[in-house]
Structure 1
Amino acid sequence: MDPATPPADPAPQGSAEGRRPGHLYRQVAAHLAAHPDQVLKVGEITTAIAARSGGAVFEALKKMAAAGYATHRTGPHRFQITQAGIDAAGSMPPPATRPPRSGGSGTRRRQPVPRPNGDLYFPRKLAGATDVDVLRRLRDKRIPVLLYGPPGTGKTALVEAAFPDLLTVAGTGDTVVEDFLGSFIPLPDGGFEFVYGPLVVAMRKGRALLVDDATLIPPKVLAVLYPAMDGRRVITIPGYRNERVEAVDGFYVIAGHNPGVHGAILTEALASRFDVHIEVTTDWDLARHLGVPAPAVQAAITLNADLAAGRVGWAPQLRELLGFTRVRKTLGLPAAVANLAGRAPEDDREQVLAALRQQFGTDITALTLGKQR
């Protein structure tokens, strides 16, 4: 055993650690969160929170590190909270799924996967595996995927977690062919240089390309993708000497679609290019694990049921719930609830207010400036 490793003594009978599952973990997380700029030793944390077992504290710290909520340094063992740990607000990480018994079926839950911005993505179950694993397997077989669901459910986060080499085209009604292929840019000396677009770069370097909000892009523009996705895997660049571009191994196209968003049209030509269509909905259990208060989650579940039934046109998803949590920690619960109400479109405001009032039991209005103080 590493001499620097604290002994894994069991918590004494009747101690706080033994009586309340998760109590010690929350104490440890709160102490790290109160000292975000410090790298703390296990013994320092044990003393600071008056814990009876250094081993139990060490186990809690290792659990935080495994979830990405803390960094773990050795020689001696030291820990520092991460931004994800601060955002989790002391909530226990999602429980790991036990590995299957010999001869059984199932998979071990993957650890959280970092995204390029440093945030963590928690993989979800899909087709007997995890969503991250499934997307990687589909890429290996060159099977394109269309992800669809309301904005804010985590479609982009999933793709970023699955493919670290990802390039992205953010689709809008103003997206043009040059946004895929490239265009000339002016140089300081007065000349021009052609800069290749993300589609060309992805094809030549074997990278993944996400076409986000693909159904907002005019169909004539999207047609530039089709020869790159089919058996030819070749395109030309009309605006640059009709240069021929061939895709190398690893090149992959995945797209996102937000049904119900104004202007989003899923044409048959586009839908048929993607062999796999995956619906992405909000993970309510993950929202709870990330520190979203239960009443906010329940209000969101109610409103999403109304959304599915066509009674409202908007409902908060994971993105809005995580924003709710950040506002609550900064401005307090009443302001966070009022802000969530204010994020609803005007046509759906009353239904959203009713759902929030039912859960929080207070007089709620949208966040609005008051009189001068």
Structure 2
Amino acid sequence: MDPTASAATAPTTGGGKRPGYLYHMVAAYLSSHPDQVFTVGEITKALSVPSTGAVFEALKKMAKAGYATHQTNPHRFQVTQAGIDAAGTMPPPAPHTPRQGRGTSRRQPVTRPNGDLYFPRKLAGATDVDVLRRLRDKRIPVLLYGPPGTGKTALVEAAFPDLLTVAGTGDTVVEDFLGNFIPLPDGGFEFIYGPLVAAMREGRALLVDDATLIAPKVLAVLYPAMDGRRVISIPGYRNERVEATEGFYVIAGHNPGVHGAILTEALASRFDVHIEVTTDWDLARHLGVPRPAVEAAITLNTDLAAGRVGWAPQLRELLGFTRVTKTLGSAAAVSNLVGRAPIDDREQVLAALKAQFGAEITPLTLGKQR
């Protein structure tokens, strides 16, 4: 029997719609493979649905409820016993972000949906988390920019527990925002609303990650939702009208210098606040990154700002360095960090690491058989 077939028995509402149909499919598929860990793409392919983004949101909803584990780099999910016991039932709606007023800035860590801690940083006389929440209260959209790996996504996840996400690529299409039809076991089709529609109707925050990798004509779907109208239509589904409810908010991420990332004037002008996000070196030390690695990264980031190199390790790479050090030792971690650098920048990265670690370093490479 098809493990997803039971989802077809979910309660229906007026018009024959099945609320959470895709969620039931995803939950049933994971529950039928309790010992396996899946990527988002593997589940999307197994279920023969067109929207990876919609599957990702269902999986994150399961993880947030404790129904699945969530690993990152890449995103991978596995059902928990609680998820099996839930038998595909929807978790309760995510609570809205508590509204924060001035003078309530907090320095304690904030837990992200994947369980990792985010350590707030100073911004505009408060913390970055509280500033983003205040800007959301006033409907002031924000563009976060900086090199990949500096913590832009982590900051947004910490600030907004009710977050939905569209992961931008050159292949992102309008349907990834608005939704698409998926096949049903009985041979019919059902329209599954996309993250933009869900965020507008449920009053949730929407992160457009790597927004500047998305084609401008696709991004244009956001503009009427962000301006004074706060209304969109869905051309592929009866031209349905969608109005934003209180709490709806759009925030975007931009990685300058990344191939294909283009910040157009039309996009930049939609965001009233632009915030640069850089690596917090003190935080890196606090999280246990070895001092020589931090110093080498600072040197390389100075060269990056001056245009002498095109790549420098950020917090993501430094945390990866620390994990590899604990697993394989310092020498292997240093060699691996050299290998992660683009070929054009490898010589400068090698020199910076040699200056701090003082050892002969080569990229991590397989040797001869023992």
Same-fold call, TM > 0.5?
A: yes
Shift of 1:189: 1.0
Q: Give yes or no for the alignment of 1:371 onto 2:364.
A: no
The aligned residue for residue 215 of structure 2 is 218
The aligned residue for residue 260 of structure 2 is 263
Read off the aligned partner of 2:173 and give its amino acid letter.
V
Aligned-residue RMSD, C-alpha? 1.3
1:295 counterpart (279, 292, 297): 292
Shift of 1:109: 4.5
Please give the alpha-carbon distance, in whole angstroms, between the structure 1 residues aligned to 2:106 and 2:320: 26
SS for the counterpart of 1:225 is: helix
2:311 counterpart (309, 314, 330): 314
Measured against aligned partners, the alpha-carbon deviations of 1:123-182 in whole angstroms (never above 9, x if no partner) come to 000000000000000000000000000000000000000000000000000000000000
Measured against aligned partners, the alpha-carbon deviations of 1:5-56 in whole angstroms (never above 9, x if no partner) come to xxxxxxxxxxxxxxxxxxxxxxxxxxxxxxxxxxxxxxxxxxxxxxxxxxxx
Please give the alpha-carbon distance, in whole angstroms, between the structure 2 residues aligned to 1:275 and 1:107: 23
Measured against aligned partners, the alpha-carbon deviations of 1:50-76 in whole angstroms (never above 9, x if no partner) come to xxxxxxxxxxxxxxxxxxxxxxxxxxx
**Structure 2 counterparts to residues 127-146 of structure 1, below 5 A:** 127-146=124-143
SS for the counterpart of 1:313 is: coil
Please give the alpha-carbon distance, in whole angstroms, between the structure 1 residues aligned to 2:107 and 2:332: 36
Q: Using a 3 Å threshold, how does the CA distance of structure 1 residues 107 and 348 change in structure 2: closer, same or farther?
A: same
**Structure 2 counterparts to residues 115-264 of structure 1, below 5 A:** 115-264=112-261
Please give the alpha-carbon distance, in whole angstroms, between the structure 2 residues aligned to 1:286 and 1:161: 16
Gaps of at least 5 residues in structure 2 are: 1-101
Please give the alpha-carbon distance, in whole angstroms, between the structure 1 residues aligned to 2:215 and 2:107: 38
Please give the alpha-carbon distance, in whole angstroms, between the structure 1 residues aligned to 2:105 and 2:130: 12
Shift of 1:110: 1.8
Please give the alpha-carbon distance, in whole angstroms, between the structure 1 residues aligned to 2:305 and 2:297: 12
What percent identity do the matched residue pairs reach? 91
Please give the alpha-carbon distance, in whole angstroms, between the structure 2 residues aligned to 1:156 and 1:326: 20
Aligned residues: 270
Larger Rg, first or second structure (1 or 2): 1
Gaps of at least 5 residues in structure 1 are: 1-104
TM-score normalised by length of structure 2:
0.72
Please give the alpha-carbon distance, in whole angstroms, between the structure 2 residues aligned to 1:278 and 1:352: 27
Please give the alpha-carbon distance, in whole angstroms, between the structure 2 residues aligned to 1:119 and 1:357: 32
Please give the alpha-carbon distance, in whole angstroms, between the structure 1 residues aligned to 2:331 and 2:287: 20
Please give the alpha-carbon distance, in whole angstroms, between the structure 1 residues aligned to 2:369 and 2:116: 39
SS for the counterpart of 1:227 is: helix
CA contact (8 A) 2:106 2:130 kept: no
Please give the alpha-carbon distance, in whole angstroms, between the structure 2 residues aligned to 1:108 and 1:147: 20
CA contact (8 A) 2:301 2:312 kept: yes
Which structure 1 residue ranges, 4+ long, deviate > 4 Å from structure 2?
A: 105-109
Please give the alpha-carbon distance, in whole angstroms, between the structure 1 residues aligned to 2:235 and 2:312: 43
CA contact (8 A) 1:107 1:128 kept: no
Read off the aligned partner of 1:209 and give its amino acid letter.
L
TM-score normalised by length of structure 1:
0.71
The aligned residue for residue 324 of structure 2 is 327
SS for the counterpart of 1:169 is: strand
CA contact (8 A) 1:204 1:248 kept: yes
